[in-house]
Amino acid sequence: MKKQERIDRLRERIRKQLKKWDVPSVSICIIKDHEVCMAEGIGQRDQEAGISADAETLYQIASCTKAFTAAAVAMLATEGKLDMDRPVRDYIPSFRLHDEYATAHLTIRDFLSHRSGLPRHEYAWYGTGFSRDELMGHLKDLWLTAPIRYKFQYSNFNYLIAGELIEAVSGMKFEDYLEQKILLPLGMTHSKVYIEDIRSADNKALPYDHTEEYTMEGIRQIDFYQSPAENAESRTGDPTAAAGCISSCAQDMAHWVEFMMGNGEWQGQQRIRPDLMRLLTTPHITLADSPLYSPQRTMNSYALGWQVHSYRGYKMCEHGGNINGFSTETAFLPELGLGVFVSANMNVTLLADAIVMDVLDTFLDQADTDWYDRLYQGNEEMFDSVRAAFAAPAEQAVSNTHPSHPMADYVGDYERPGYRRVRIEKTEKGLRMDFNSFIVDLTHHHYDTFVTEGVIGELPVGLLVTFGMDPEGMIRTVSMKLGSEEGLGPIVFTKK
């Protein structure tokens, strides 16, 4: 089958799947043997206005930014400004983690490969309004849940640290370094490094979610993600920009994928040393294989800003990204000179992954599985498990119980080092919680435990909020399980 015929059939399949998955549009580019075979938008970037996406339509690529951050570190190493195996503290003297040994020994490679021992601690930054400096200062208060270099634990804090290292070594703001040293030299002139810039852009995809969270049907527009710490006038970006700030398009991402499949040279200039280019995609820590992708994709590991797999016997480098209203996947098979980027303007959808797998199999002449059906079912099961996890406590409530104190006794501010305070207020109906810019009502569950009626970030309705007493019987603490990592129990806040 001729290449153009492959692309035409692929395009028709994607159009069909957009309808099945209830996804407004995707941005896609495909590179094969240094040729851009496809770079376009398919579907509608603005569903309400009926505006189609094109090759220059901006989508937020979220955690696919991590590969750019790792490349920025490699550029500084190429220039001789840092050694990737020296402790980060050598470059940032004020740097402190909760564990002194980890503080003294962790290198930038450890953070870029998520083997630092830091768990997600997602709600120590998400929605808090803390600045980068404040978040860096809070690291000393956040528990590590594994020895260093012991196991993979994905955490955006690892890339916050990488961004701070880039600023310390280069003397430039992280966003400026990314733009001036990577995006513009690669000809990625449409791409943005400030989230505010996609919100104000004319040719942008709007963010969408399904009608109800953690379901697969319906389409509703939602807001772009915005950190309370951002300030457009002062060009203060998202504090965790190094973990996921870039907005890009099919046309620009074709340049990025082409660069990553090379030896670090671009238009006659060696941007990154060849040995460091290889290091970026060299496995550093193993991951468990996912049954959803096996046996075609196995031997999972994490390198520096990239996951690495064996896909049908070929080395596969890939990374996904999710942020409010966008799901993205970037992948390449270096031995075959085959690369692909897909971004969908839909929250938490595996359609981008399915399209990537379809592209790879199209060029490999493989047809032993239907990735669309397979990952659609996987997406449904993932949502089912989330809903079940938060519905289970309601079914397990002890009946005929009541709070131990009058509602007024629960009111107050509760604090924990490293986190934003939790504020409990009394309402006509009962209690309300203000946490990380999210305000949700609380419904009594049993005893001194309540459940949230609204969403907190990515935590759905039904989060357990438990109050505790001191020896005198006074309400003194409130605790919530804000993550699923092994070893990270409920986070306890103490009343002021």
Q: What is the mean pLDDT of each run of 10 residues along the chain (496 residues)?
A: 89 98 98 96 97 98 98 98 98 98 98 97 94 97 96 97 98 97 98 93 97 93 90 85 97 98 94 98 97 97 98 98 97 98 98 98 96 98 86 79 97 97 96 96 96 88 94 97 81 96
Distance CA 246, CA 63 (A): 9
What is residue 179's DSSP assignment? I
Amino acid at 45: R
What is residue 154's DSSP assignment? -
**Residues paired with residue 322 on neighbouring β-strands, in sequence order:** 327
Cβ atoms < 10 Å from Cβ of 9? 12
What is residue 410's predicted lDDT score, i.e. its pLDDT?
A: 98
What is residue 271's predicted lDDT score, i.e. its pLDDT?
A: 97
What is residue 392's predicted lDDT score, i.e. its pLDDT?
A: 67
What is residue 210's DSSP assignment? -
Phi-psi region of 136 (alpha: psi -120 to 50; beta: other; left: phi over 0): alpha
Distance CA 143, CA 419 (A): 12
What is residue 386's predicted lDDT score, i.e. its pLDDT?
A: 84
Q: Is the bond leading into 295 cis (omega within 30 degrees of zero)?
A: yes
What is residue 103's predicted lDDT score, i.e. its pLDDT?
A: 98
- The span from the first CA to the last CA of the chain, in angstroms, equals 70
Please state whether beta strands 307-311 and 297-302 pair in parallel, antiparallel, or not at all (unpaired): antiparallel
Distance CA 473, CA 166 (A): 50
Report how far Cα 33 is from the mean position of its chain's Cα atoms. Answer: 30
CA trace torsion 203, 245, 17, 293 (10° rounding): 160
What is residue 230's predicted lDDT score, i.e. its pLDDT?
A: 84
Distance CA 16, CA 224 (A): 27
Rg (the chain; Cα; Å): 23
Distance CA 82, CA 174 (A): 16
Residues contacting 232, CB < 8 A, separation 6+:
194, 196
What is residue 483's predicted lDDT score, i.e. its pLDDT?
A: 77
What is residue 394's predicted lDDT score, i.e. its pLDDT?
A: 63
**Residues paired with residue 107 on neighbouring β-strands, in sequence order:** 87
What is residue 61's predicted lDDT score, i.e. its pLDDT?
A: 98
Distance CA 249, CA 61 (A): 9
**What is the SS3 assignment for 396?**
coil
- Ranges assigned E (strand) in 345-448: 412-415, 422-426, 431-435, 438-446
Cβ atoms < 10 Å from Cβ of 373? 12
CA trace torsion 134, 138, 140, 143 (10° rounding): -150
